Amino acid sequence: MPDKEKNIHFIGIGGISMSGIAELLLSEGYRVSGSDARKTDITERLEKLGAMIGYPQKADNIPKDTGVVVMTAAIHEDNPEYQEAKRRGLKIETRADFLGQIMKGYEVPVAVAGTHGKTTTTAMVSKILLAKEADPTISIGGVLRDIGGNFRVGGRRYFVMEACEYTNSYHSFYPRVGIILNVEPDHLDFFKDIEDIRRSFHRYGQNIPDDGVLIINKEIEGIKEITDGLKCRIVTFGMDESADYHAKDITYDEYARASFTVCHGGNKRKLTLGVGGAHNVMNALAAVAAADELNMGDEAIINGLKTFTGTNRRFEIKGELNGVTIIDDYAHHPTEIRATLGTAKKYPHRELWVVFQSHTYTRTKALLDEFADALREADHVICAEIYPARETDTLGMSGELLCEKIREKGTDCYYFPTFEEIEKFVRETLVDRDLLITMGAGDVVRIGDELLKKN
């Protein structure tokens, strides 16, 4: 851990992970400063907790007595604060490395990795520990309503966190309980191919100590490439009875919420989930396996999962507009899209509409056909322009091109270059009992918010 006599400065302190780390340090008496492009609810909260924050990012935001500067992978070398830190010879840490150091201060760090499902599963594990009153520290990639945000400062025993594979940032983490939910092609602007991704997850597994455990989906293709040579214990989960943890007797209610039996050895437990979808049965199996490793007990597992109703932007019911139900979902990978639409089909509705905003040009190019196939599960699709995130368009990709590909697959699809045009079309076209899902990892959520605001 850093010197408490020195200030810690965060470039981009308003980010969902950076803000959580800053809040943890503030709670432990560290002096914290930071910067961001603009004032937000998150930065205002940090200011109230004692952080000194400058807007926008500029060299003189870094206090004179700063000992460490923390930055994310999104910060480029031409950033004025990064340049100032280099000029002054300050110690510069990536967010992942810094968080990894913090994790080492906890007795039982738990890290949830995988191509998708990380936020939900991290939240499920967290809910079980909260139900047990185990006082966990929590770092999650979405807003968990039970803790009023994305970070909870708890005791020094349990640290439950979401571990993202992008730029191999999770290689800085050393969990005692590690989870791998799935391994599929994604982030191909960084990884070379699926083999490169499997090697990355294997490296993540190597960070688990000999007396730790890796909980992994047995249905992952090429699982041996990930688990071979690991010294930690391996526990598997999946739908097949050969998995250490598997589900039987699955039924769904009218809102696609599952009830099922978890089988582990001779132990059988009946669970009911508070969230919908078959994919959440898999997420729950991983969470149950982790909870058993932490000795949380059946009561906490049953109650925690039954009362878990999801995180923001994961099949989040936003409201109703003239009889049209509006739901928002973070799905931005074809597998996630299929899972979300599978859940939606079980939800009461007349016709299913999706406003889809693809995330990054590289992902769109790499998975163009897969996106079109996945979105065929909807009755109608509206394509927004691609959310560029960290990229510029050098690949000739566009929301209009994706729309054409979806039409080629036989699905009714529309393209509009602006959110305003999409909102106008929705108001004029959708009717009573239709279901509208705004979908993607960018800012597509704004469409539903604006529709409901003007209702």
Which residues are known catalytic residues? 118-119, 162
Q: CA-CA distance, 450 to 319, in Å (whole number)? A: 11
Amino acid letter at 247? A
Is residue 334 reached through a cis peptide bond, with omega within 30 degrees of 0 on the bond before it? no
Distance CA 281, CA 414 (A): 33
CA distance 350 to 323: 11
Residue 354 backbone dihedrals phi, psi, to 5 degrees:
-130, 130
CA atoms within 13 A on the CB side of 374: 23
Read off the amino acid at residue 141.
G
Integer Cα distance of 399 and 386 in angstroms: 5
Q: Which residues lie across from 151 on neighbouring strands?
A: 139
Q: Which residues pair with 112 in a beta bridge?
A: 162, 179
**Residues 118, 331: Cα–Cα separation, whole Å:** 12
As a whole number of angstroms, the distance between CA 345 and CA 347 comes to 5
Residue among 372, 435, 434 nearest 399 (CA): 372
CA distance 375 to 344: 12
